[in-house]
């Protein structure tokens, strides 16, 4: 398991990050609910593994189930290991649109309590598309509150974790963020975030690439998951996924291995966030990392990438 430094933060992370959203059993998103025992067991398995980076959020699951289960696993195993980096995200309360600076501070307090820790290395502004940009950067808004939490020493670094590339770019242009996280926009099928990642690299901003499987179509296959990015993508993306599956099959390579390693092999990405819902899923991820992929297949897959016009963010 390789390590890299998140931009200019000095924080060292493994190339794979355990994405803890699945263990939150988010209603309407997770088709296979994860019960409490399996959720805690998954975290414990991660803590025993070479992965030393965990990503969660205040809003992952009813009443912060993802954070609560991580906290339970940490309590059971003797606390957060010194070599594990834990990242979370601030969110509005369930059913409440308030995303003010005050809410950010309450969100962090809730997260720390659930996780059983007193500070956190990395804290993200989560899904900032829920509010207008001007509201996000207002003096009493969430960005300013995150900066103040960093100044107080409650967090080491702050990030912007969102979807739309143009919005992330506006936030990093403020100069306040140390890290960015984008999902579904740097995969075998979609390169919307590639230029954003280049800009971040030039500025010393850490890059986390999430959802390398595009919501499942690049892991379970287009027949099982006939949609890209939870239905946000186009039919052209689904057709391309089918063609990529065939190309991978011709080389005896699971498409999931190619999808994961596409992100891992990029020098634009510091760590790839992979959602895992069970110890078995963790073992599968480690196996996919070890699959040998011939250069000829990479060339074939590159030729099958859909045109920019059908990407999630066709123009920044």
Q: Which two tokens stand for residue 201?
A: 């690299």
What domains sit in the chain, N to C, each tagged with a CATH number? 13-306 (3.20.20.100)
Tell me the pLDDT of the chain (316 aa) as tens digits. 999 999 999 999 999 999 999 999 886 665 578 999 999 999 999 999 999 999 999 999 999 999 999 999 999 999 999 999 999 999 999 999 999 999 999 999 999 999 999 999 999 999 999 999 999 999 999 999 999 999 999 999 999 999 999 999 999 999 999 999 999 999 999 999 999 999 999 999 999 999 999 999 999 999 999 999 989 989 999 999 999 999 999 999 999 999 999 999 999 999 999 999 999 999 999 999 999 999 999 999 999 999 999 999 997 6
Predicted TM-score (pTM) of the model is 0.96
* Whether 7 contacts 204, CB under 8 Å: yes
């Amino acid at each position: 398991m390789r390590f890299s430094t998140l931009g200019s933060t000095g924080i060292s992370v493994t190339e794979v990050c355990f994405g803890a959203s699945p263990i939150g059993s988010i209603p309407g998103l997770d088709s296979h609910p994860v019960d409490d025992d399996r959720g805690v067991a998954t975290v414990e398995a991660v803590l025993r593994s070479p992965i030393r980076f965990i990503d969660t959020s205040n809003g992952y699951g009813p009443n912060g189930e993802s954070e609560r289960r991580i906290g339970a696993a940490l309590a059971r195993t003797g606390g957060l290991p010194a070599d594990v980096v834990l990242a979370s995200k601030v969110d509005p309360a369930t059913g409440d649109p308030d995303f003010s600076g005050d809410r950010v501070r309450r969100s962090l307090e809730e997260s720390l309590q659930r996780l059983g820790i007193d500070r956190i290395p990395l804290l993200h502004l989560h899904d900032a598309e829920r509010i207008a940009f001007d509201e996000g950067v207002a003096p009493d808004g969430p960005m300013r509150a995150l900066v103040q939490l960093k100044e107080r020493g409650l967090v080491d670094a702050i990030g912007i974790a969102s979807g739309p590339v143009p919005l992330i770019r506006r936030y990093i242009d403020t100069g306040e963020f140390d890290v960015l996280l984008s999902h579904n926009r740097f995969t075998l099928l979609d390169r919307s975030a590639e230029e954003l990642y280049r800009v971040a690299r030039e500025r010393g901003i850490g890059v986390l690439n999430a959802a390398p499987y595009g919501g499942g179509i690049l892991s379970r296959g287009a027949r099982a998951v006939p949609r890209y990015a939870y239905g946000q993508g186009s039919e052209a993306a689904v057709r391309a996924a089918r063609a990529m599956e065939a190309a991978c099959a011709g080389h005896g390579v699971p498409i999931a291995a190619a999808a994961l390693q596409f992100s891992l092999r990029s020098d634009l990405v510091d760590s790839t966030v992979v959602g895992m819902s069970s110890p078995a899923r963790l073992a599968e991820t480690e196996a996919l990392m070890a699959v040998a992929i011939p250069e000829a297949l990479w060339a074939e897959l590159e030729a099958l990438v859909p045109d920019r016009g059908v990407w999630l963010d066709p123009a920044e």
